[in-house]
Amino acid sequence: MKDAALDGVDRITAKRLRVEYLTDPLGIDVVRPRLGWNPESGRRGAEQSAYRIVVAGSPEKLGLGEGDLWDSGKVDSGESQHIRYAGVGLTSGRQAYWKVMVWDEAGEPGTWSEAASWTMGLLGRDEWDGFWIGRKNDRKPTREKPNPVVYLRRSFRLRGGIRRATVYATALGVYRLYANGLAAGPQLFAPEWTDYHARVQYQTYDVTALLREGDNALAAELGHGWYTGYIGMFGYQKYGMDPAFLLQLNVEYEDGGVERISTDESWRVSWGPIVASDLQMGETYDARLELPRWKEADCSEDGAWSEPDRLFDYRGRIVAQMTPPIRATEERSAAGVRMLDEDRLIVDAGQNLTGWLRVSLRGKSGESYTLKYAEAIGGSGEIYTDNLRLASQTDVFILGEDGPKTFETTFTCHGFRYVEISGAGAGRLAPGDIFVIVVRSALEETGRLETSDPDLNRLLDNIRWTQRSNFMGVPTDCPQRDERHGWTGDAQIFARTAAYNMDVSAFFAKWLTDLTDAQQPTGAFTDFAPFIFGPKTEFDNDFTYTHIGSAGWADAPPMIGWLLYETYGDTDVLRRCYPAFRRWIDYNEQLYPSGIRRDAPQYGDWLSVDERPFEETKAEFDWLVSHHSTTPYDVFATAYWVHGTKLMERIALAIGENEDAERYRALHARAQEAFLREFVSSEGIVKGDTQTAYAMALGMELLPESMRRSAADRLAAKIEGAGGMATTGFHGTKYLLNALCDYGYEELAFRLVLRREYPSWLYSVLQGATTIWERWDGWTEERGFQNASMNSLCHYAFGSVGEWLYRHVGGIDAVSSSPGFRRVRIRPRPKGGLTSASCEYDSLHGCVRTEWTARDGRFELRLRIPAGVTAVVYVPCENGGQVKESGIPCGEELAMKESGDPCGEELAMKESGVLAKAREAIRALGREDDCVRFLVGSGEYFFESLYETMGGNNG
Ligand code: BGC
Condensed to tens digits (0 to 9), the pLDDT of residues 302-340 reads: 788 999 999 999 999 999 999 999 999 999 999 999 999
| Cα-to-centroid distance, 690 and ligand 1 (Å) | 21
Q: Is the dihedral of CA 798, 799, 801, 804 positive or negative?
A: negative
Condensed to tens digits (0 to 9), the pLDDT of residues 584-597 reads: 999 999 999 999 99
User: For 802, what's the count of Cα atoms within 13 Å in the CB-facing half-sphere?
Assistant: 31
Per-residue exposure over 283-318, b if at least 16 CB sit within 10 Å of its own CB, e if not: bbbbbeeebeebbbbebeebeebeebbbbeebeeeb
What mean pLDDT comes out for the span 24-52?
Answer: 96
For residues 598 and 634, the answer to whether their CB atoms sit within 8 Å is: yes
* Of the candidate ranges 166-170, 297-301, 350-354, 718-722, the one whose mean pLDDT is the lowest: 297-301
DSSP 901-915: B-TT-HHHHHHTT--
| Cα-to-centroid distance, 270 and ligand 1 (Å) | 39
| Cα-to-centroid distance, 802 and ligand 1 (Å) | 20
Between CA 275 and CA 561 the distance in angstroms is: 42
Nearest protein Cα to ligand 1, atom 11: 487
Q: If pLDDT is split at 50, 70 and 90, which confidence band does 542 have?
A: low
**Which amino acid makes up residue 20?**
E
| Cα-to-centroid distance, 140 and ligand 1 (Å) | 28
| Cα-to-centroid distance, 556 and ligand 1 (Å) | 14
DSSP 261: E
Does ligand 1 lie within 6 Å of residue 606's CB atom? yes
Residues with Cβ within 8 Å of 605's Cβ and at least 6 positions away in sequence, in order, are 552, 629, 630, 631, 636, 690, 692, 696, 728, 729, 730, 731, 732
Confidence (pLDDT) at 521: 94
Highest mean pLDDT among 264-268, 624-628, 882-886: 264-268
Residue 692 has pLDDT above 50, yes or no: yes
Residue 877 has pLDDT above 90, yes or no: yes
Does ligand 1 lie within 6 Å of residue 528's CB atom? no
Helices 571-591 and 505-517: crossing angle, nearest 10°? 30
Q: If pLDDT is split at 50, 70 and 90, which confidence band does 893 have?
A: very low
Q: If pLDDT is split at 50, 70 and 90, which confidence band does 386 have?
A: very high
Residue 521 burial class via C-beta count within 10 angstroms: exposed 0-12, middle 13-18, buried 19 and up: exposed
Condensed to tens digits (0 to 9), the pLDDT of residues 147-202 reads: 999 999 999 999 999 999 999 999 999 999 999 999 999 999 999 999 999 999 99
Condensed to tens digits (0 to 9), the pLDDT of residues 348-374 reads: 999 999 999 999 999 999 999 999 999
Confidence (pLDDT) at 894: 47
What mean pLDDT comes out for the span 395-423?
Answer: 95
| Cα-to-centroid distance, 934 and ligand 1 (Å) | 44
Nearest protein Cα to ligand 1, atom 2: 477
Q: What angle do CA 867, 873, 877 make, to 5 degrees?
A: 150
Residue 912 has pLDDT above 80, yes or no: no
Return the percent helix, strand and coil in the chain, to nearest 5.
25, 30, 40
What mean pLDDT comes out for the span 915-936?
Answer: 79
Share of residues in the chain with pLDDT > 70 (%): 94
Residue 567 has pLDDT above 70, yes or no: yes
Tell which atom from ligand 1 comes closest to the C-alpha of 797. 9
Tell which atom from ligand 1 comes closest to the C-alpha of 490. 10
Q: If pLDDT is split at 50, 70 and 90, which confidence band does 383 have?
A: very high
* Of the candidate ranges 28-37, 45-54, 296-305, 519-528, the one whose mean pLDDT is the lowest: 296-305
Torsion (CA) 170, 175, 179, 181 in degrees, nearest 10:
180
- Per the model's pLDDT, the better-predicted residue between 288 and 913 turns out to be 288
Condensed to tens digits (0 to 9), the pLDDT of residues 467-481 reads: 999 999 999 999 999
Annotated active-site residue in 420, 450, 774, 851: 774
Confidence (pLDDT) at 745: 97
Does ligand 1 lie within 6 Å of residue 267's CB atom? no
Residues with Cβ within 8 Å of 485's Cβ and at least 6 positions away in sequence, in order, are 232, 476, 477, 528
Between CA 42 and CA 132 the distance in angstroms is: 54
Per-residue exposure over 444-469, b if at least 16 CB sit within 10 Å of its own CB, e if not: eebbbbbbbbeebebbbbbbbbbbbb
3-state secondary structure of 227: helix
Residue 793 has pLDDT above 70, yes or no: yes
For residues 668 and 650, the answer to whether their CB atoms sit within 8 Å is: no
Annotated active-site residue in 375, 450, 483, 944: 483
Between CA 49 and CA 36 the distance in angstroms is: 15
For residues 224 and 207, the answer to whether their CB atoms sit within 8 Å is: no
Between CA 404 and CA 286 the distance in angstroms is: 14
User: C-alpha 145: how far from its chain's center?
Assistant: 32
* Of the candidate ranges 694-703, 717-726, 778-787, the one whose mean pLDDT is the lowest: 778-787
User: C-alpha 18: how far from its chain's center?
Assistant: 18
Tell which atom from ligand 1 comes closest to the C-alpha of 795. 9
What mean pLDDT comes out for the span 235-261?
Answer: 96
What mean pLDDT comes out for the span 731-738?
Answer: 98
For residues 374 and 384, the answer to whether their CB atoms sit within 8 Å is: yes
Condensed to tens digits (0 to 9), the pLDDT of residues 755-768 reads: 999 999 999 999 99
Q: Which of 483, 543, 772, 773 to mutate to test the pocket of ligand 1 (most atoms within 8 A of CB)?
A: 483
Share of residues in the chain with pLDDT > 90 (%): 87
Q: Verify whether residue 774 is a known catalytic residue.
A: yes
Does ligand 1 lie within 6 Å of residue 416's CB atom? no
Does ligand 1 lie within 6 Å of residue 490's CB atom? yes
Does ligand 1 lie within 6 Å of residue 478's CB atom? yes
Q: Which of 388, 469, 477 to mutate to test the pocket of ligand 1 (most atoms within 8 A of CB)?
A: 477
Does ligand 1 lie within 6 Å of residue 483's CB atom? yes
Residue 540 has pLDDT above 60, yes or no: no
ω into 109 cis (within 30 of 0):
no
User: For 19, what's the count of Cα atoms within 13 Å in the CB-facing half-sphere?
Assistant: 27
| Cα-to-centroid distance, 607 and ligand 1 (Å) | 9
3-state secondary structure of 67: coil
Between CA 510 and CA 324 the distance in angstroms is: 11
Q: Is the dihedral of CA 827, 829, 834, 835 positive or negative?
A: positive
Nearest protein Cα to ligand 1, atom 9: 477
Between CA 622 and CA 889 the distance in angstroms is: 63
Torsion (CA) 189, 190, 192, 196 in degrees, nearest 10:
-120
Residue 641 has pLDDT above 70, yes or no: yes
Residue 601 has pLDDT above 80, yes or no: no
Residue 583 has pLDDT above 90, yes or no: yes
Confidence (pLDDT) at 5: 47
What mean pLDDT comes out for the span 289-303?
Answer: 90
What mean pLDDT comes out for the span 668-687?
Answer: 96
Q: What are phi and psi of 741, to 5 degrees?
A: -65, -40
Q: Which of 484, 487, 798 to mutate to test the pocket of ligand 1 (most atoms within 8 A of CB)?
A: 487
Q: Verify whether residue 114 is a known catalytic residue.
A: no
Does ligand 1 lie within 6 Å of residue 487's CB atom? yes
Which of 354, 716, 55 is closest to 708 using CA atoms?
Answer: 716
Residue 499 has pLDDT above 70, yes or no: yes
For residues 240 and 113, the answer to whether their CB atoms sit within 8 Å is: no
Tell which atom from ligand 1 comes closest to the C-alpha of 628. 12
List the end-to-end C-alpha distance of the chain, in Å, as a whole number. 33
Which of 282, 259, 300 is closest to 356 using CA atoms?
Answer: 282
pTM for the full model? 0.95
Q: Which helix (H) or strand (E) holds 848?
A: strand 846-855
Q: If pLDDT is split at 50, 70 and 90, which confidence band does 301 have?
A: confident
What mean pLDDT comes out for the span 56-75?
Answer: 97
Does ligand 1 lie within 6 Å of residue 557's CB atom? no
Confidence (pLDDT) at 598: 87
For residues 73 and 86, the answer to whether their CB atoms sit within 8 Å is: no
Confidence (pLDDT) at 197: 94
Confidence (pLDDT) at 909: 44
Does ligand 1 lie within 6 Å of residue 489's CB atom? yes
